[in-house]
Amino acid sequence: MSDQAHNPLPEAPRVRLTDGLRCILGGILMGLANLVPGISGGTMLLATGIYQLLVNAIADLARVRIRWQVLVVLACVVGPAVVTIALLSGVAGRFVLEYRWIAYSLFIGLTLGGIPVLVRSISVVRASTIFGVVLGLIAMAWLAFGTSSEGVSSASGGWGMLLIAGLAAGAAMILPGLSGSYVLLVLGQYVVILTTIDEARMAVSARDLEGLSTAGLTMLPVAVGVVLGIGLVGLLIRWLLVRAPSWTMGLLLGLLVGALLGLWPFRTPVPPPVGSVVRGVEISSLEQAEQVKPKYWPTEGFTPAGLEVAQATGLILLGAVLSGSIGMLGGGRTDASEKAAHGSSSQIRT
């Protein structure tokens, strides 16, 4: 039996200078993608050609196989991504909070534009592919309709929900076609987390230890969840692409298509009513309701005017064109990754 039979996961590729530069670019684009629901961080990694490098590095680190190549890849991707998110989170959060229907219409288009990226990667449709699509649709339907009955922030801010949100977002960050920020949006944590990141940044600038501590308490469970999500899914996706590539790509497609279920744009934030629960605290008076920050407000639907429908349609088309153009940059990379997975699978069976 060959050595490869004892080691089903392939060795991480050697990192060159050009790989490092592409990792930095990929990290910046992934950071931007994770601020915009509908744009997939995994797709950005595919577009810059570093998806396999990052997945290998995460898998090696999770298996405590620490080498300098692994550390270089992670530093070049994660560092720029974190800096990008920290600098631009406030702008993205305020955009969604103040212009919700405009933002959501654009997000729908961005999500639609990412679908061809995964469709092109499925060379042969099998029963397992269809099963994966159905499973992904069910999972996203549960996220959209089964986690909250009152909109954006009915349970926002609790440690349990923040941990789950971080775990789900971390997992989505490295899945091509699935947007981590979209998952946060559906779970009602997008505005909460982005504005908290911006508050932490401003607290650091002002040397406000109390403000930094308050923001840190919110971000701690998110950070733990993100690390766990990235590590676990990095291992899982590497294993699945080797063992069950058709099912895996079908699942990713189902997750992406199902993402549209939670992006109805014509809802608006409203102050929490007396008797509702926000961040685990029951609102018992109008004065208490007025003290709740807008980022924690629930939402309610409204009937759009004809002009708003036309504008939303235009934004959807614009988002689809933008996302589709970006996805075309990485379309071939998805095929390459799947071929690599098939090749590794063949080596294992040898």
The angle, 0 to 180 degrees and rounded to 10, between the axes of the packed helices 100-121 and 306-349 is: 30
pLDDT digits (tens, 9 = 90+) for 82-131: 888 888 877 877 787 778 788 888 878 877 876 776 687 777 888 988 99
Mean pLDDT along residues 230-257? 81
Q: Which of 321, 201, 319 is nearest to 260 (CA)?
A: 319
Band of pLDDT at residue 346, cut at 50, 70 and 90: very low
Q: What is the number of other CB atoms lying within 10 angstroms of the CB of residue 46?
A: 27
Q: How far is CA 49 from the centre of its chain?
A: 19
Q: Which amino acid is at 339?
A: K
Cα distance between residue 295 and residue 293, in whole Å: 5
Mean pLDDT along residues 146-154? 43
β-partners of residue 301 are 267
Q: Which residue has the higher pLDDT, 100 or 6?
A: 100
Phi and psi at 277, nearest 5°, equal -120, 125
User: What pLDDT was estimated at residue 150?
Assistant: 39
pLDDT digits (tens, 9 = 90+) for 172-183: 777 766 677 777
* Residue 42 to residues 46, 77, 297, Cα–Cα distance (Å): 6, 12, 30
**pLDDT at residue 259 is higher than 60:** yes
Q: Which of 34-48, 266-280, 322-336 has the highest mean pLDDT?
A: 266-280
Cα distance between residue 247 and residue 270, in whole Å: 41
**pLDDT at residue 157 is higher than 90:** no
154 and 276 in contact (C-beta within 8 Å)?
yes
Q: Which residue has the higher pLDDT, 22 or 134?
A: 134
Q: Which residue has the higher pLDDT, 147 or 202?
A: 202
Mean pLDDT along residues 61-72? 80
Beta strands in the chain (DSSP E): 267-269, 277-278, 281-282, 299-301
Q: What is the mean pLDDT of the chain?
A: 75
Residue with tokens 């071929």: 339
User: What pLDDT was estimated at residue 301?
Assistant: 80
Instruction: Name the residue ranges covered by the structural domains of the chain.
Output: 3-349
Phi and psi at 260, nearest 5°, equal -65, -20
User: What pLDDT was estimated at residue 47?
Assistant: 64
Phi and psi at 274, nearest 5°, equal -60, 135
β-partners of residue 267 are 301
User: What pLDDT was estimated at residue 285?
Assistant: 82
Name the DSSP class of 262. Answer: G
Which alpha helices (H) appear in 174-305, and where do they start and end? 180-186, 190-206, 209-243, 245-258, 286-290
Cα distance between residue 208 and residue 218, in whole Å: 16
pLDDT digits (tens, 9 = 90+) for 185-241: 777 777 778 888 888 888 888 888 888 888 888 888 888 988 888 888 878 877 887
Rg (CA), the chain: 21
User: What pLDDT was estimated at residue 174?
Assistant: 73
Band of pLDDT at residue 327, cut at 50, 70 and 90: low
Band of pLDDT at residue 312, cut at 50, 70 and 90: very high
Q: Which residue has the higher pLDDT, 85 or 346?
A: 85
* Residue 164 to residues 121, 159, 184, 249, 293, Cα–Cα distance (Å): 29, 9, 10, 24, 22
